Structure 1
Amino acid sequence: MLDIPISALNFPHLPFPFEDVVKQTCLKNRFIEGMVSWGIERVKAAKRNKKSERRKYK
């Protein structure tokens, strides 16, 4: 996920709050995954709708 050595986790004097960074990246990844899967679902639904419309007008 993040290229941070494990030894860096043990130091309290890090220049950034490590947990917050991890949470943010996890949320970002989840959000992106959600958007991608949502987009795929929309495309599938659109294809399905097109097929059913074709059947209607035959």
Structure 2
Amino acid sequence: MIYGGNIVVEKAQHVGQISPVLKWPMDKVYWVMPASGLILVWYSVMNIIDNYRKRNFH
């Protein structure tokens, strides 16, 4: 999601597309994809750490 999202953002920057209703540049809207990827990685790492700690305490 991070890598692919960055590709989509870069393509949207080159096209210069504007959202019809909000009048925002679409590359700003598409930043949700790499940001979501970072959040996904963060929670996955935290889950791995939590599972590791629980396993070592029992």
Both proteins in one fold, TM over 0.5: yes
Counterpart of 2:27 (choices 16, 22, 31) is: 22
Note the residue ranges of structure 1 that are not aligned, 5 or more in a row.
10-15, 54-58
- Bigger Rg over Cα: 1
Aligned-pair CA distance for 1:25: 2.2
**Structure 2 unaligned spans of 5+:** 1-5, 19-23
Moved over 4 A (4+): none
Q: What is the root-mean-square deviation of aligned Cα atoms in Å?
A: 2.0
Percent identity, aligned pairs only, is 7
Q: Which residue of 2 aligns with 1:36?
A: 41
- TM-score, with length taken from structure 1: 0.59
